[in-house]
Amino acid sequence: MSIESRRREIAREAKAIVALAFRNGPIEDLHGGRPCPTCAGRGGFSRITDDEIKAIIKHAVNHVYQLLVLRDENPVEYERKIQFGERYTAKWDKPEMPRRRHHPAGL
């Protein structure tokens, strides 16, 4: 498999994993609500509580963990889940490599 075709496969998986682990989780409950009339469109305001972000992250980590275990232990089921996740990603942008951010030593 060429590097380019492998990268396309990884991009496909990445988008499906995000759909399964992040988009279709607690974030949808927040996104589905009405915009805040006080802070809508204004930066600098927290719009997510600590409990909400904890639930979002926990949901995402649990689902990514499940998918990575399936990838190693049950590739057929993993592919089935990736194909299901792809249903949500057809109109998403292609992923890009993020710019490296400087982190303090040890992180």
Mean pLDDT of the chain: 86
Burial state string for 5-17 with b = 16 or more CB within 10 A and e = fewer than 16: eeeeeeebbebbb
**Burial grade of 63 (CB within 10 A; 0-12, 13-18, 19 or more):** buried
Q: Please give the average per-residue pLDDT across 64-78, as a whole number.
A: 96
- Confidence grade of residue 41 (pLDDT, cut at 50, 70, 90): confident
Distance, in Å, from the CA atom of 27 to the CA atom of 88, rounded to the nearest integer, reads 15
**Burial grade of 64 (CB within 10 A; 0-12, 13-18, 19 or more):** middle
Query: By mean pLDDT, which of 37-41, 52-56, 77-81 is the weakest?
Result: 37-41
- Confidence grade of residue 93 (pLDDT, cut at 50, 70, 90): very high
pLDDT of residue 14: 94
Global confidence as pTM? 0.75
